[in-house]
Amino acid sequence: MTQFSSQLLEKAVMEINRLPGIGSKTALRLALHLLRQDESRVEALAESLVNMRRGVHYCKVCYNICDDEQCEICSNPSRDASTVCVVENVQDVMALENTMQYRGLYHVLGGVISPIDGIGPSDLQIESLVERVRRGGVGEVILALSPTMEGDTTNYYIYRKLEDTGVKVTVIARGIAQNDELQYTDEVTLGRALAGRIPFGQ
């Protein structure tokens, strides 16, 4: 166990260690790195993190993150508002935008149905998606969830919820390996999967 000569350093390491994917050794290395930086740079980092936490909102339409009530994608009049791509998280929006092949809108669920993790449909933005479709103006819903068991379960649940709305429900083509997460798929493969989408259930 690491012995700290400074309680302030120990506290900083503990807080950094709380971040996902950051072990205790990495946390110590990062804390010592910050300690060697100019105070102004560390203050700028701390201020940007506090400002992000206080200022970032979830778009009232699609639940993407943004600085205002509505994100730039939803408020862009050149986007195709009749097509809504359903994704698991914000990182998936970024991955799909990087393909530069999709010009519709998004709907961020905030996760997938996973009973083992205690995540049910009511914990996700599924009802808001159904309401969005029922308000009209949406012609196609693209299910772009990762091809995992949880993703497939969520796809099926959404499909059943939208079955009586008359909206076209498609799913991205399986050019993505089973159990791969969407955000880690390269842009070319992801773009082809999106372009080659098929009606759900085929």
CATH number of 73-199: 3.40.1360.10
Range(s) for CATH 1.10.8.420 in the chain?
Answer: 7-55
Range(s) for CATH 3.40.1360.10 in the chain?
Answer: 73-199
**47-75, pLDDT tens digit by residue?**
999 999 999 999 999 999 999 999 999 99
Q: What is the mean pLDDT of the chain?
A: 89
Mean pLDDT of 79-87: 97
What is d(CA 182, CA 95) in angstroms, rounded to the nearest whole number? 8
Q: Nearest to residue 63, comparing CAs of 111, 129, 130, 108?
A: 108
CATH class of 7-55: mainly alpha
Residue 69 and residue 59 in contact, taking contact as beta carbons nearer than 8 Å: yes
Sign of CA dihedral 163, 167, 168, 171: negative
**91-122, pLDDT tens digit by residue?**
999 999 998 889 999 999 999 999 999 999 99
What is d(CA 122, CA 85) in angstroms, rounded to the nearest whole number? 20
Phi, psi dihedral angles at 115 (to 5 degrees): -55, -35
Q: Nearest to residue 76, comparing CAs of 92, 59, 90, 98?
A: 59
Give this prediction's pTM.
0.79
User: 94: how many CB neighbours lie within 10 A of its CB?
Assistant: 13
